[in-house]
Amino acid sequence: MSSELKKLPAESFERITIDSSHSERIAKPSLSFWQDAWLRIRKNKAAIVSIFILVFILIMAFVGPMISPHDAETQTITHANLPPKVPGFEKLGFLDGVGTMAGKEVDLYEMKKVDTYYWFGTDGLGRDMFSRVWEGTQISLFIAFMAALIDMIIGVAYGGVSAFYGGRVDDMMQRVVEILYGIPTLVIVILMILFMEPGVTAIIIAITITGWIGMSRIVRGQVLRYKNQEFVLASRTLGASNPRIITKHILPNILGIIIINTMFTIPGAIFFEAFLSFIGLGLQPPAASLGTLINDGYKLVQYQPHILLFPSIILSLLMIAFNLLGDGLRDAFDPKMKD
Amino acid sequence: MEKILEVKDLELSFHTFAGEVKAIRGVNFDLLKGETLAIVGESGSGKSVTTKSIMRLLPEHSSEFKNGHILFNGKDLTKLSDREMQKIRGKDISMIFQDPMTSLNPTMTIGNQIMEPILKHRKVNKTEARKVAIDLLRLVGMPKPELRIKQYPHQFSGGQRQRIVIAIALACNPQILIADEPTTALDVTIQAQILELMKDLQKKIDTSIIFITHDLGVVANVADRVAVMYGGKIVEIGTVDEIFYNPQHPYTWGLLSSMPSLDVEEEKLYAIPGTPPDLLNPPKGDAFALRSDYAMQIDLEEDPPFFQVSDTHSAATWLLHPDAPQVEPPLSIIERMKKFPGSRYFTGTEGGTN
Amino acid sequence: MAEKLLEIKNLKQYFNQGKPNEVRAVDDISFDIYKGETLGLVGESGCGKSTTGRSIIRLYNATDGEVIYDGVNVHDKKSKSDLKIFNRKMQMIFQDPYASLNPRMKVLDIIAEGLDIHGLVKTPKERKERVVELLETVGLNREHADRYPHEFSGGQRQRLGIARALAVEPEFIIADEPISALDVSIQAQVVNLLKELQEEKGLTYLFIAHDLSMVKYISDRIGVMYFGKLVELAPADELYKNPMHPYTQSLLSAIPLPDPNYERTRVRKSYDPASHNYQDGEEIAMREVNPGHFVFCSAKEFEAMKALSRA
């Protein structure tokens, strides 16, 4: 397969020496695992949007009640059951304080002679829904984060110890988990709540009592996988102690999975709390969480849909955003699956 | 001899997260009927990608044929749809892979796995197919095939699994068998058995084999012709004797010198310095130049064309240009050349070629 | 006569002992390793060579037998500080370049780990300098210290593994299939490096591998293992020129060489363990057939081999 040889300048055939240390150079910039994951996440639009939504909701949960002209507790009976009215939007035909009464569309604010704005409307006792919804979000988020944190701490510790020590220790610890897992969670929770003071603590305990098992299983699997990897063996041959191996070698490698799992635990916790509150086992009035608000709201959905609407939207956004973010993180931490 | 497959000017790239990786940068070769062509190269040379592109097994959304044709039975395989390729795979062109542990479906009996291509491509019923499967198992040296045909992959050893894989590949008497490092994961003695089996079957079925490997010993054992790949291109191609006893490309020299010989005492192994090129940004000119002791100015500027050494032997290196200075290959290569009539080191005392 | 650095006596490593799925990975083997030599240990998968290496360095606790390093029994030691001494003297290089380096640690920390554990450096500056010194010893650059393992090729990673092992200034290194996962031309780089280091630092190696040609190149003596037993032990050249145990003969006859003429005429011998026809009560042991050349055989076979080598 030769081609016609073109005439080449004489110097072309001069021998050159190659500096072989050149060949060892690495051209690309160095990226740690986290930097690389961040670059990947940035390209995932769903994840970025989710981050924005979550940050927004988080900020609003604290800022919301502060910026509202009304507070969450004050009951103004004369202002009861007002639909949402927001300055500026009213011109557009919605959020204009118009609701149905006896089948007819009436501007209820005019009717009840209310001259302030209730951005999310009011509930049956005349409380400002805007502040109530955001305070409820605060509580729901608090419960969810605390539950996720406790699940993570117990789950990582339990699963990690079980896997790292292995053998009989692992066998026994896993038998305990299996028994716990077999007991229906809802039954435990109901029994517990009947005996305890209903409130935030009770709910957190209810959620975490078996919630940590999922995390412990995952962590156990990961630790089992890593503890026999050659780099851990290498560390042992260098004389590393167990604490060193756990903190420097195993934990950094499983951190990604722990974060992802926590990301998915949070919406589960939020929803579980909402569910408990919805069936009446959660917070008691006047305390509000997204769940209690939804409970209040669904009874009135025909007449005052706004009471159900806003907490539902926020709950849905939280769930979707955490799930999308969790998915995005999973793809970012495990790039082999994508390419 | 008749040409079964013609690969012309093949170029293929992968679109990855980091950019475009030019995995194949201009590959040309033919496959003749009944021969075994070995493709040798190291990781990143493009040898696996080349054969996977013949079979069109690369992910459609991230790989792209930038140029070239693969001509088989009057068709250009790069242009066929997946449905049309399905008629060819397993029937006219078969492939066997490296890892016998993952090449078989653990949830199907081996009988069903061998019958699968038979039922798909040949118009026979199940009883007939089963008979063919038993015959194939016998052909690949499996004892008690009627009993074993009902068993599952985990009940077989690595070497036996590779035999089953070969049976599946040959079920429809393909014209071409592509073997991608089929013995790399096997022990030396099992490897020897499998190679003997493959050569034996090739004679019986008269199929052409493309054999990919990085083990030059295996190449010397099975190949009729050898293509050496580096950096996404073929750098040298010739008959097995020409490549082993009269190599011309510095990379081939490096490969042959970096293997210790069992009969000669060596002080130090020649090791090619550096690492293979990054195909995200292939270097200008001769990709091997940066690691070669024989580099010249032109290697940094222009890609060398193929220079003919004989009717069957050519190499893409500027060292073969008539104006290039004459260089002395490494000592171990000179020793090899002494056995090859036609090389300038031939001592005339040994006959060594066909 | 060179002094012995390591004496392995009747080493046994059984897994799941007593149960139906008991595996006798290492089944009563004994050999010595002399100071400054490279002992190659070869065999096919499942023969127990890797397990032997890991038992010696105490990654596994031996089921039975003794590992005597410089006169001291390694497996006896219970206290942490005693074990630490051995950690400095004996080091290991692993097979898989992709699994042997912690993907989340920088090269600097990976190589310095030994220094940290044994307190061999006092300041961060000293630590960095020592790591750079080690990097240069294995043919890498100072800039590589700040990078992560995934940025390196297989061959470079193996060199990082070597640098890590050298950090604690060991006397004895067990290389567990260090080149099996590397390309041919890179294998030569790593093997040359190991040879250089051995000369410079007076190291002793146990080189475990299944690539027989590489093992012959680097080893002074070679041991062949088969299903947990050591079947032959001889100087490298002697083993290749004059293999006596039928398994060794079978193994050597199966190796393909990059020489088409040789390949055309090579005849492979098969090995059938039943061909020994060992009777009950016959003692099979390592017997010295020629000086330095040991074969695992019965008294009958021993006589036959001796007769053959006299001829």
Min Cα–Cα distance to chain B from A332, Å? 12
Min Cα–Cα distance to chain C from B143, Å? 17
C229-235 and C221-226 as β-strands: parallel, antiparallel, unpaired?
Answer: antiparallel
Neighbours of chain C (3+ CB pairs under 8 A): A, B
Residue B349 has pLDDT above 60, yes or no: no
Whether A96 is covered by a domain: the verdict is no
| Range in A307-316, B256-265, B306-315 the model is least confident about | B256-265
Q: What percent of chain B has pLDDT over 70?
A: 96
Could you tell me if residue A239 is left (phi over 0), alpha (psi between -120 and 50 degrees) or otherwise beta?
left
Given CB atoms, is C207 within the 8 Å cutoff of chain A? no
Residue B354 has pLDDT above 50, yes or no: no
Q: Is the predicted ipTM greater than 0.90, yes or no?
A: no
Integer Cα distance of C270 and C250 in angstroms = 5
Name the residue of chain A whose CA is nearest to B310's CA. Answer: A1
Which residues are within 8 A (CB) of A104 and not within 5 positions of it... i.e. 6 or more apart? Answer: none
Give the mean pLDDT of chain A. 82
Does C260 contact B273 at a Cβ distance shorter than 8 Å? no
Q: What is the DSSP string of B140-171?
A: TT-SSHHHHTTS-GGGS-HHHHHHHHHHHHHT
Which residues are within 8 A (CB) of A192 and not within 5 positions of it... i.e. 6 or more apart? Answer: A202, A205, A206, A209
State the pLDDT at residue A270: 87
CA atoms within 13 A on the CB side of B171: 33
State the pLDDT at residue B148: 92
Q: Which of B221, B244, B269 sits opposite C256 (nearest CB)?
A: B221
Does A230 contact C96 at a Cβ distance shorter than 8 Å? yes
pLDDT tier, A2 (very low <50, low <70, confident <90, very high otherwise): very low
Residue A3 has pLDDT above 60, yes or no: no
State the pLDDT at residue C150: 87
Q: Which whole number is the average pLDDT over C52-75?
A: 89
More confident residue, C79 or C194: C194
**Which residues are registered as beta bridge partners of C290?**
C293
Integer Cα distance of A120 and A132 in angstroms = 9
Q: Which whole number is the average pLDDT over B227-245?
A: 94
State the pLDDT at residue A100: 67
Does C156 contact B196 at a Cβ distance shorter than 8 Å? no
C96 closest CA partner among B218, B278, A228:
A228
State the pLDDT at residue A181: 85
Query: How far, rounded to the nearest angstrom, does the alpha carbon of residue A127 sit from its chain's CA centroid?
Result: 29
pLDDT in tens, C230-280: 999 999 999 999 999 999 999 999 999 999 999 999 999 989 888 888 888
Specify whether the CB–CB gap between A338 and A331 falls below 8 A: yes
Q: Name the amino acid, one letter, at A279.
A: I
Q: Name the amino acid, one letter, at A201.
A: T
Backbone angles phi, psi at C39, to 5 degrees: -100, 125
pLDDT tier, A30 (very low <50, low <70, confident <90, very high otherwise): confident
Name the residue of chain A whose CA is nearest to B289's CA. Answer: A18
Q: Which whole number is the average pLDDT over C18-25?
A: 86
Given CB atoms, is A10 within the 8 Å cutoff of chain B? yes
Whether A235 is covered by a domain: the verdict is yes
Q: Which whole number is the average pLDDT over C145-156?
A: 88
B338 closest CA partner among B246, B253, B275:
B246
Residue B251 has pLDDT above 80, yes or no: yes
Chain C residues with beta carbon closer than 8 angstroms to that of A239: 83-84, 87-88, 114, 117-118, 168
Whether A32 is covered by a domain: the verdict is no
State the pLDDT at residue A103: 65
Residue B352 has pLDDT above 50, yes or no: no
Does B291 contact A20 at a Cβ distance shorter than 8 Å? yes
State the pLDDT at residue C134: 94
CA atoms within 13 A on the CB side of A302: 4
Q: What is the DSSP string of B276-315?
A: ---TTSPPSS-TTGGG-TT-BGGGGTS----EESSSS-EE
Specify whether the CB–CB gap between C210 and B188 falls below 8 A: yes
Could you tell me how many CB contacts below 8 A there are between chain B and chain C?
Answer: 110
Min Cα–Cα distance to chain C from B156, Å? 15
Given CB atoms, is A26 within the 8 Å cutoff of chain B? no
Query: How far, rounded to the nearest angstrom, does the alpha carbon of residue B321 sit from its chain's CA centroid?
Result: 28
Does C87 contact A238 at a Cβ distance shorter than 8 Å? yes
Residue A164 has pLDDT above 50, yes or no: yes
Residues 39-78 on A with a CB inside 8 Å of B are 40
Given CB atoms, is B271 within the 8 Å cutoff of chain C? yes
Whether A137 is covered by a domain: the verdict is yes
B302 closest CA partner among A291, A326, A9, A172:
A9
CA-based end-to-end distance of chain B: 17
Whether A211 is covered by a domain: the verdict is yes
| Range in A28-42, B115-129, B240-254 the model is least confident about | A28-42
A37 closest CA partner among B60, C150, B15, B280:
C150
The label of the residue with tokens 């070969």 reads B166
Q: Which whole number is the average pLDDT over C162-168?
A: 94
In Å, how far are B20, B21, B63, B68, B280 from B15, measured between CA atoms? 5, 6, 6, 18, 10
Name the residue of chain A whose CA is nearest to B272's CA. Answer: A20
In Å, how far are A60, A120, A304 from A89, measured between CA atoms? 19, 12, 19
Given CB atoms, is B241 within the 8 Å cutoff of chain C? yes
Residue A308 structural domain: 45-67+131-338
Q: Which of C87, C105, C143 sits opposite A237 (nearest CB)?
A: C87
State the pLDDT at residue C203: 95
CA-based radius of gyration for chain A: 29
Min Cα–Cα distance to chain C from A34, Å? 9
Integer Cα distance of B37 and B35 in angstroms = 6
CA atoms within 13 A on the CB side of B82: 5
Does A24 contact C113 at a Cβ distance shorter than 8 Å? no
Which of A116-130, A271-285, B327-341 shows the highest mean pLDDT? B327-341
Min Cα–Cα distance to chain B from C74, Å? 32
Whether A264 is covered by a domain: the verdict is yes
Chain A residues with beta carbon closer than 8 angstroms to that of C132: none
Chain A residues with beta carbon closer than 8 angstroms to that of B299: 16
Integer Cα distance of B134 and A222 in angstroms = 43
Residues 12-51 on A with a CB inside 8 Å of C are 21, 24-26, 28, 30-33
Q: Provide the 10 A C-beta neighbour count for residue B69.
A: 16
State the pLDDT at residue A49: 93
CA torsion, ordered C135, C136, C142, C143, to nearest 10 deg: -70
CATH of the domain at A171: 1.10.3720.10
pLDDT in tens, B113-138: 999 999 988 889 999 999 999 999 99
pLDDT tier, A23 (very low <50, low <70, confident <90, very high otherwise): low
Whether A204 is covered by a domain: the verdict is yes
pLDDT tier, B98 (very low <50, low <70, confident <90, very high otherwise): confident
Please tell me the pTM assigned to this model: 0.85
Given CB atoms, is B7 within the 8 Å cutoff of chain A? no
pLDDT in tens, B284-316: 888 888 888 888 888 888 889 999 999 999 999
Whether A51 is covered by a domain: the verdict is yes
Name the residue of chain C whose CA is nearest to B191's CA. Answer: C254
Q: Which whole number is the average pLDDT over A71-83?
A: 78
Does A231 contact C101 at a Cβ distance shorter than 8 Å? yes
Name the residue of chain C whose CA is nearest to A250's CA. Answer: C102
Does C148 contact A24 at a Cβ distance shorter than 8 Å? no
State the pLDDT at residue B90: 87
State the pLDDT at residue B353: 46
Residues 120-149 on B with a CB inside 8 Å of A are none
Integer Cα distance of B291 and B273 in angstroms = 6
Look at residue C176 and give its three-state secondary structure: strand
Domain count, chain A: 1
